[in-house]
A and B are shown apart, each in its own frame.
Chain A
Amino acid sequence: MARVVVNVPAQAKRGEVIEIRTLAGHPMETGFRRTQLGELIPRDIIRTLICTYNGAEIFRAELHPAIAANPLISFTTVATESGTLEFRWTGDNGFSATQSAAIKVV
Protein backbone atom coordinates (compact mmCIF):
# COMPACT_ATOMS: atom_id res chain seq x y z
CA MET A 1 0.00 0.00 0.00
CA ALA A 2 1.80 3.05 -1.23
CA ARG A 3 0.88 6.09 0.74
CA VAL A 4 1.56 9.53 -0.77
CA VAL A 5 0.47 12.98 0.33
CA VAL A 6 0.68 16.31 -1.48
CA ASN A 7 0.07 19.79 -0.18
CA VAL A 8 -0.96 22.27 -2.89
CA PRO A 9 -2.74 25.54 -2.06
CA ALA A 10 -6.39 25.25 -3.12
CA GLN A 11 -6.41 28.79 -4.46
CA ALA A 12 -3.76 31.21 -5.71
CA LYS A 13 -3.50 34.54 -7.52
CA ARG A 14 -2.38 34.48 -11.15
CA GLY A 15 1.40 34.82 -11.32
CA GLU A 16 1.85 33.98 -7.65
CA VAL A 17 4.71 31.66 -6.63
CA ILE A 18 3.22 28.70 -4.82
CA GLU A 19 4.96 26.12 -2.67
CA ILE A 20 4.17 22.46 -3.26
CA ARG A 21 5.10 19.80 -0.74
CA THR A 22 5.00 16.08 -1.40
CA LEU A 23 5.51 13.17 0.96
CA ALA A 24 5.81 9.53 -0.08
CA GLY A 25 5.80 6.61 2.34
CA HIS A 26 8.77 4.48 1.32
CA PRO A 27 11.59 2.69 3.21
CA MET A 28 14.31 3.93 0.76
CA GLU A 29 16.56 0.91 1.35
CA THR A 30 19.99 1.98 0.11
CA GLY A 31 21.29 -1.35 -1.18
CA PHE A 32 24.50 -0.91 0.80
CA ARG A 33 23.32 -2.38 4.09
CA ARG A 34 23.81 -5.98 5.12
CA THR A 35 21.82 -8.31 7.33
CA GLN A 36 23.30 -9.76 10.50
CA LEU A 37 24.30 -12.77 8.40
CA GLY A 38 26.26 -10.59 6.01
CA GLU A 39 23.89 -10.78 3.08
CA LEU A 40 23.35 -7.62 1.09
CA ILE A 41 19.85 -6.14 1.43
CA PRO A 42 18.77 -5.35 -2.13
CA ARG A 43 18.22 -1.74 -3.08
CA ASP A 44 14.63 -0.55 -2.91
CA ILE A 45 14.27 3.18 -3.54
CA ILE A 46 12.05 5.64 -5.34
CA ARG A 47 13.81 6.62 -8.58
CA THR A 48 11.78 9.52 -9.92
CA LEU A 49 9.11 12.02 -9.04
CA ILE A 50 7.43 13.83 -11.92
CA CYS A 51 4.93 16.63 -11.52
CA THR A 52 2.77 17.89 -14.38
CA TYR A 53 0.61 21.01 -14.37
CA ASN A 54 -2.29 20.65 -16.81
CA GLY A 55 -0.28 18.04 -18.69
CA ALA A 56 2.96 20.02 -18.92
CA GLU A 57 5.92 18.77 -16.91
CA ILE A 58 7.00 21.42 -14.39
CA PHE A 59 9.18 19.41 -12.03
CA ARG A 60 11.20 16.22 -12.15
CA ALA A 61 13.43 14.75 -9.47
CA GLU A 62 15.77 11.79 -9.67
CA LEU A 63 16.30 10.11 -6.33
CA HIS A 64 19.35 8.14 -5.31
CA PRO A 65 20.45 5.96 -2.38
CA ALA A 66 21.14 7.75 0.92
CA ILE A 67 17.95 9.78 0.73
CA ALA A 68 15.98 9.35 3.96
CA ALA A 69 12.95 7.11 4.24
CA ASN A 70 9.60 8.74 3.49
CA PRO A 71 11.15 11.47 1.31
CA LEU A 72 9.60 14.92 1.58
CA ILE A 73 10.15 16.88 -1.63
CA SER A 74 9.20 20.52 -1.74
CA PHE A 75 9.37 22.86 -4.73
CA THR A 76 7.78 26.01 -6.09
CA THR A 77 6.03 26.94 -9.29
CA VAL A 78 4.10 29.88 -10.72
CA ALA A 79 0.32 29.64 -10.63
CA THR A 80 -0.64 30.28 -14.26
CA GLU A 81 -4.12 28.84 -14.69
CA SER A 82 -6.74 26.78 -12.90
CA GLY A 83 -6.37 23.08 -13.36
CA THR A 84 -4.81 19.92 -12.01
CA LEU A 85 -1.35 19.05 -10.77
CA GLU A 86 -0.49 15.42 -11.16
CA PHE A 87 2.31 13.68 -9.30
CA ARG A 88 3.85 10.34 -10.18
CA TRP A 89 6.45 8.47 -8.18
CA THR A 90 8.19 5.45 -9.69
CA GLY A 91 10.84 3.24 -8.16
CA ASP A 92 12.48 -0.14 -7.74
CA ASN A 93 10.46 -3.35 -7.58
CA GLY A 94 7.70 -1.83 -9.66
CA PHE A 95 6.90 0.90 -7.13
CA SER A 96 4.41 3.33 -8.58
CA ALA A 97 2.13 5.88 -6.97
CA THR A 98 0.08 8.75 -8.30
CA GLN A 99 -1.70 11.66 -6.70
CA SER A 100 -3.39 14.72 -8.06
CA ALA A 101 -4.49 18.05 -6.66
CA ALA A 102 -6.71 20.77 -8.06
CA ILE A 103 -5.77 24.43 -7.97
CA LYS A 104 -8.00 27.41 -8.64
CA VAL A 105 -6.25 30.48 -10.04
CA VAL A 106 -8.05 33.80 -9.69
Chain B
Amino acid sequence: MKRFAVVIGLLFPGFLLAEIPLAERRSGYEFMSRETRAMQDDEITGPAVLALLDGEALWGKLGCAGCHGDAKASMKGVAARYPALVDGKLVNLEQRIRPKAPALAYESRELLALTAYVARQSRGMPISVAVDEKTKSSLEAGRGFFEKRQGQLNLACAQCHDDNWGKKLSGNTIPQAHPTGYPLYRLEWQTVGSLTRRLRNCLTGMRAELYPHGAPELVELELYLMWRARGMPLESPAVRP
Protein backbone atom coordinates (compact mmCIF):
# COMPACT_ATOMS: atom_id res chain seq x y z
CA MET B 1 0.00 0.00 0.00
CA LYS B 2 2.86 2.30 0.89
CA ARG B 3 4.56 1.49 -2.39
CA PHE B 4 1.31 2.23 -4.18
CA ALA B 5 1.17 5.65 -2.52
CA VAL B 6 4.75 6.37 -3.53
CA VAL B 7 4.01 5.41 -7.12
CA ILE B 8 0.92 7.63 -7.15
CA GLY B 9 3.03 10.41 -5.67
CA LEU B 10 5.61 10.05 -8.39
CA LEU B 11 3.04 9.85 -11.15
CA PHE B 12 0.93 12.74 -9.94
CA PRO B 13 3.00 15.22 -7.98
CA GLY B 14 0.50 17.18 -6.01
CA PHE B 15 -1.68 14.18 -5.33
CA LEU B 16 -0.30 13.71 -1.82
CA LEU B 17 0.11 17.40 -1.12
CA ALA B 18 -2.39 18.77 1.31
CA GLU B 19 -2.73 22.29 2.57
CA ILE B 20 -2.21 22.77 6.29
CA PRO B 21 -5.58 23.14 8.07
CA LEU B 22 -6.09 26.71 9.31
CA ALA B 23 -6.09 25.72 12.98
CA GLU B 24 -2.77 23.86 12.68
CA ARG B 25 -0.81 26.74 11.22
CA ARG B 26 2.17 27.86 13.28
CA SER B 27 4.49 30.79 12.87
CA GLY B 28 8.20 30.12 12.45
CA TYR B 29 8.54 31.71 15.91
CA GLU B 30 7.10 28.58 17.51
CA PHE B 31 9.80 26.39 15.95
CA MET B 32 12.63 28.51 17.36
CA SER B 33 14.79 27.90 20.40
CA ARG B 34 14.11 29.76 23.65
CA GLU B 35 17.20 31.92 23.11
CA THR B 36 16.22 32.98 19.60
CA ARG B 37 12.69 33.79 20.78
CA ALA B 38 14.18 35.99 23.48
CA MET B 39 16.09 37.90 20.79
CA GLN B 40 12.89 38.58 18.89
CA ASP B 41 11.00 39.56 22.03
CA ASP B 42 13.69 42.05 23.09
CA GLU B 43 12.31 45.35 21.82
CA ILE B 44 15.18 47.49 23.10
CA THR B 45 18.36 45.57 22.28
CA GLY B 46 17.07 42.96 19.81
CA PRO B 47 19.13 42.71 16.61
CA ALA B 48 16.36 44.05 14.37
CA VAL B 49 16.14 47.21 16.48
CA LEU B 50 19.10 48.71 14.61
CA ALA B 51 17.19 48.50 11.32
CA LEU B 52 14.13 50.06 12.93
CA LEU B 53 16.16 53.02 14.20
CA ASP B 54 17.74 53.47 10.77
CA GLY B 55 14.29 53.24 9.18
CA GLU B 56 12.88 55.87 11.51
CA ALA B 57 15.75 58.22 10.66
CA LEU B 58 15.29 57.61 6.91
CA TRP B 59 11.55 58.24 7.20
CA GLY B 60 12.40 61.79 8.19
CA LYS B 61 15.50 62.24 6.05
CA LEU B 62 13.99 61.07 2.76
CA GLY B 63 10.93 63.23 3.30
CA CYS B 64 8.40 60.38 3.67
CA ALA B 65 6.91 62.30 6.57
CA GLY B 66 6.11 65.21 4.26
CA CYS B 67 3.17 63.34 2.73
CA HIS B 68 2.57 60.46 5.13
CA GLY B 69 3.10 62.25 8.45
CA ASP B 70 3.73 60.08 11.45
CA ALA B 71 4.35 56.51 10.28
CA LYS B 72 2.94 55.16 13.54
CA ALA B 73 -0.49 56.32 12.42
CA SER B 74 -0.34 56.41 8.62
CA MET B 75 1.49 53.09 8.08
CA LYS B 76 -0.54 51.09 10.59
CA GLY B 77 -1.81 47.92 8.93
CA VAL B 78 -0.21 48.66 5.56
CA ALA B 79 2.31 45.80 5.60
CA ALA B 80 -0.44 43.28 6.36
CA ARG B 81 -2.09 44.09 3.01
CA TYR B 82 0.89 43.56 0.69
CA PRO B 83 1.54 42.26 -1.98
CA ALA B 84 -1.27 44.28 -3.55
CA LEU B 85 -2.25 45.71 -6.91
CA VAL B 86 -0.85 49.17 -7.63
CA ASP B 87 -1.79 50.62 -11.02
CA GLY B 88 -2.71 47.14 -12.23
CA LYS B 89 0.60 45.57 -11.23
CA LEU B 90 1.12 43.26 -8.28
CA VAL B 91 3.84 44.68 -6.02
CA ASN B 92 5.24 43.76 -2.64
CA LEU B 93 6.05 46.21 0.13
CA GLU B 94 9.65 46.79 -1.00
CA GLN B 95 8.50 47.50 -4.54
CA ARG B 96 5.90 49.93 -3.22
CA ILE B 97 8.48 51.87 -1.22
CA ARG B 98 11.39 51.68 -3.66
CA PRO B 99 10.29 54.05 -6.43
CA LYS B 100 9.21 56.68 -3.91
CA ALA B 101 12.58 56.85 -2.22
CA PRO B 102 15.01 57.59 -5.07
CA ALA B 103 17.77 55.12 -5.92
CA LEU B 104 17.17 52.52 -3.24
CA ALA B 105 18.47 49.18 -4.50
CA TYR B 106 16.88 45.84 -3.59
CA GLU B 107 18.39 44.45 -0.37
CA SER B 108 20.17 47.72 0.31
CA ARG B 109 20.47 48.60 3.98
CA GLU B 110 18.31 51.68 3.45
CA LEU B 111 15.43 49.91 1.69
CA LEU B 112 15.38 47.12 4.26
CA ALA B 113 15.47 49.59 7.15
CA LEU B 114 12.63 51.64 5.69
CA THR B 115 10.56 48.54 4.93
CA ALA B 116 11.18 47.16 8.41
CA TYR B 117 10.10 50.47 9.93
CA VAL B 118 6.90 50.53 7.86
CA ALA B 119 6.18 46.86 8.59
CA ARG B 120 6.78 47.42 12.32
CA GLN B 121 3.71 49.65 12.45
CA SER B 122 1.55 46.62 11.61
CA ARG B 123 2.97 44.32 14.27
CA GLY B 124 0.28 42.15 15.81
CA MET B 125 -2.26 42.88 13.08
CA PRO B 126 -3.73 39.98 11.10
CA ILE B 127 -2.36 39.35 7.62
CA SER B 128 -5.11 40.19 5.15
CA VAL B 129 -4.09 40.40 1.50
CA ALA B 130 -6.91 41.31 -0.86
CA VAL B 131 -8.04 38.34 -2.90
CA ASP B 132 -10.60 39.28 -5.51
CA GLU B 133 -11.25 38.86 -9.21
CA LYS B 134 -8.22 41.00 -10.09
CA THR B 135 -5.67 39.21 -7.92
CA LYS B 136 -7.09 35.71 -8.25
CA SER B 137 -4.97 34.79 -11.27
CA SER B 138 -1.81 35.93 -9.44
CA LEU B 139 -2.79 33.93 -6.38
CA GLU B 140 -3.31 30.81 -8.49
CA ALA B 141 0.02 31.38 -10.23
CA GLY B 142 1.68 31.64 -6.82
CA ARG B 143 -0.02 28.47 -5.66
CA GLY B 144 1.15 26.76 -8.84
CA PHE B 145 4.70 27.87 -8.14
CA PHE B 146 4.48 26.54 -4.58
CA GLU B 147 3.18 23.14 -5.65
CA LYS B 148 5.26 22.68 -8.80
CA ARG B 149 8.30 20.44 -8.68
CA GLN B 150 11.32 22.34 -9.95
CA GLY B 151 15.08 22.44 -10.02
CA GLN B 152 17.67 19.71 -10.24
CA LEU B 153 16.39 18.16 -7.01
CA ASN B 154 12.88 18.07 -8.50
CA LEU B 155 11.31 19.42 -5.32
CA ALA B 156 8.20 21.46 -4.73
CA CYS B 157 7.96 23.98 -1.88
CA ALA B 158 4.88 22.13 -0.66
CA GLN B 159 6.72 18.84 -0.23
CA CYS B 160 8.67 20.28 2.67
CA HIS B 161 6.43 23.03 3.99
CA ASP B 162 2.99 21.42 3.62
CA ASP B 163 3.78 17.72 3.97
CA ASN B 164 6.84 17.51 6.19
CA TRP B 165 6.87 20.57 8.43
CA GLY B 166 8.09 19.91 11.95
CA LYS B 167 10.53 17.25 10.77
CA LYS B 168 14.25 17.77 10.45
CA LEU B 169 16.21 18.81 7.39
CA SER B 170 19.93 18.53 8.13
CA GLY B 171 19.50 19.42 11.77
CA ASN B 172 17.03 22.25 11.23
CA THR B 173 13.32 22.00 11.89
CA ILE B 174 11.30 22.55 8.71
CA PRO B 175 8.87 25.39 9.38
CA GLN B 176 5.52 25.89 7.68
CA ALA B 177 6.82 28.79 5.60
CA HIS B 178 4.45 31.49 6.78
CA PRO B 179 5.98 34.89 5.94
CA THR B 180 4.81 36.49 9.19
CA GLY B 181 7.89 38.49 10.08
CA TYR B 182 9.53 39.98 6.98
CA PRO B 183 11.76 41.85 6.60
CA LEU B 184 13.53 39.97 9.38
CA TYR B 185 16.90 39.58 11.03
CA ARG B 186 18.27 36.16 10.16
CA LEU B 187 21.11 34.91 12.34
CA GLU B 188 22.57 33.04 9.37
CA TRP B 189 22.74 36.29 7.40
CA GLN B 190 23.85 38.39 10.38
CA THR B 191 21.65 41.11 8.94
CA VAL B 192 18.11 42.03 8.00
CA GLY B 193 16.81 40.58 4.74
CA SER B 194 13.64 40.48 2.67
CA LEU B 195 11.27 37.64 1.89
CA THR B 196 12.61 37.65 -1.67
CA ARG B 197 16.09 36.93 -0.32
CA ARG B 198 14.69 34.04 1.71
CA LEU B 199 12.80 32.64 -1.28
CA ARG B 200 15.94 32.84 -3.39
CA ASN B 201 17.75 30.94 -0.62
CA CYS B 202 15.25 28.12 -0.92
CA LEU B 203 15.45 28.12 -4.71
CA THR B 204 19.24 27.88 -4.48
CA GLY B 205 18.88 24.90 -2.15
CA MET B 206 16.53 23.24 -4.62
CA ARG B 207 18.93 24.11 -7.43
CA ALA B 208 16.05 25.72 -9.27
CA GLU B 209 15.94 28.77 -11.51
CA LEU B 210 16.94 31.79 -9.45
CA TYR B 211 14.52 34.61 -10.22
CA PRO B 212 15.89 38.13 -9.74
CA HIS B 213 14.66 40.47 -7.02
CA GLY B 214 11.31 41.91 -8.01
CA ALA B 215 10.51 39.13 -10.50
CA PRO B 216 6.72 38.71 -10.92
CA GLU B 217 7.02 34.96 -10.18
CA LEU B 218 8.38 35.68 -6.71
CA VAL B 219 5.80 38.38 -5.98
CA GLU B 220 3.02 35.98 -6.96
CA LEU B 221 4.52 33.37 -4.65
CA GLU B 222 4.68 35.99 -1.92
CA LEU B 223 0.98 36.75 -2.45
CA TYR B 224 0.12 33.05 -2.17
CA LEU B 225 2.23 32.68 1.00
CA MET B 226 0.58 35.71 2.59
CA TRP B 227 -2.86 34.38 1.66
CA ARG B 228 -1.84 31.00 3.10
CA ALA B 229 -0.94 32.83 6.34
CA ARG B 230 -4.13 34.92 6.31
CA GLY B 231 -5.27 35.97 9.75
CA MET B 232 -1.94 35.20 11.40
CA PRO B 233 -0.45 38.15 13.30
CA LEU B 234 2.43 40.04 11.71
CA GLU B 235 5.68 39.95 13.74
CA SER B 236 7.87 42.23 11.60
CA PRO B 237 10.72 42.67 12.02
CA ALA B 238 11.17 39.15 13.37
CA VAL B 239 14.29 37.14 14.19
CA ARG B 240 14.89 33.74 12.63
CA PRO B 241 17.82 31.33 12.99
The answer to whether the Cβ of A40 comes within 8 Å of any Cβ in the partner chain is: no
Q: Report B34-54 CB contacts with A as 1/0, cut-off 8 Å.
A: 000000001011110110011
Q: Could you tell me how many residues of chain A have their Cβ less than 8 Å away from some Cβ of chain B?
A: 15
The answer to whether the Cβ of B27 comes within 8 Å of any Cβ in the partner chain is: no
Which residue of B has the minimal Cβ distance to A70?
Answer: B47
Which of B45, B49, B190, B191 gathers the greatest number of chain A CB atoms within 10 Å? B45
> CB-CB < 8 A to A25: which residues of B?
50
- Structural contact, B50 and A21, CB atoms closer than 8 A: no
- Structural contact, A5 and B44, CB atoms closer than 8 A: yes
- Structural contact, A23 and B47, CB atoms closer than 8 A: yes
Partner of A3, one of B44, B53, B190: B53
CB contact list, B64-94 vs A, under 8 A:
none
> CB-CB < 8 A to A68: which residues of B?
187, 190
- Structural contact, B49 and A69, CB atoms closer than 8 A: no
- Structural contact, A7 and B190, CB atoms closer than 8 A: no
Which residue of B has the minimal Cβ distance to A5?
Answer: B45
> CB-CB < 8 A to B53: which residues of A?
3, 5
Which of A1, A28, A69, A70 gathers the greatest number of chain B CB atoms within 10 Å? A70
Which of B46, B50, B187 gathers the greatest number of chain A CB atoms within 10 Å? B50
Residues of B within 8 A of A (CB): 42, 44-47, 49-50, 53-54, 187, 190-191
Cross-chain pairs A/B with CB under 8 angstroms, 7 sampled: A5-B44, A21-B45, A23-B46, A25-B50, A28-B190, A69-B190, A70-B50
